[in-house]
Amino acid sequence: MANATIKIKLIGSPICCPEKHKIIVRSLGLKKMNRVVERPDTPAFRGMVAKIPHLLAIVKD
């Protein structure tokens, strides 16, 4: 579990969301809709995903 990763997909548009939500989306490395990024499975990244569950989805392999 040392190098476990999660795949995060942007499924909702952050256009009409609060600025804090937009900052979280950009800090995860997501720029466009339906893009998938792979990030380390740490509590920090899990917390960022938990803040905006209406915009993100965790993709299964």
* Contact between 12 and 43 (Cβ < 8 Å): no
Architecture of domain 5-59: 2-Layer Sandwich (3.30)
How wide is the angle at C-alpha 47 spanned by C-alphas 46 and 51, nearest 5°? 120
Can you tell me whether residue 1 is helix, strand or coil?
Answer: coil
Can you tell me whether residue 20 is helix, strand or coil?
Answer: helix
* Contact between 61 and 38 (Cβ < 8 Å): no
The pair of structure tokens assigned to 61 is 């392999």
Q: For residue range 7-61, what is the model confidence (pLDDT) as tens digits?
A: 999 999 999 999 999 999 999 999 999 999 999 999 999 999 999 999 999 998 6
pLDDT the model gives residue 3: 83
* Per-residue pLDDT band at 2 (split at 50, 70, 90): low
Q: How far apart are CA 5 and CA 13, in angstroms?
A: 24
**Domain spans in the chain, listed from the N-terminal domain onward:** 5-59
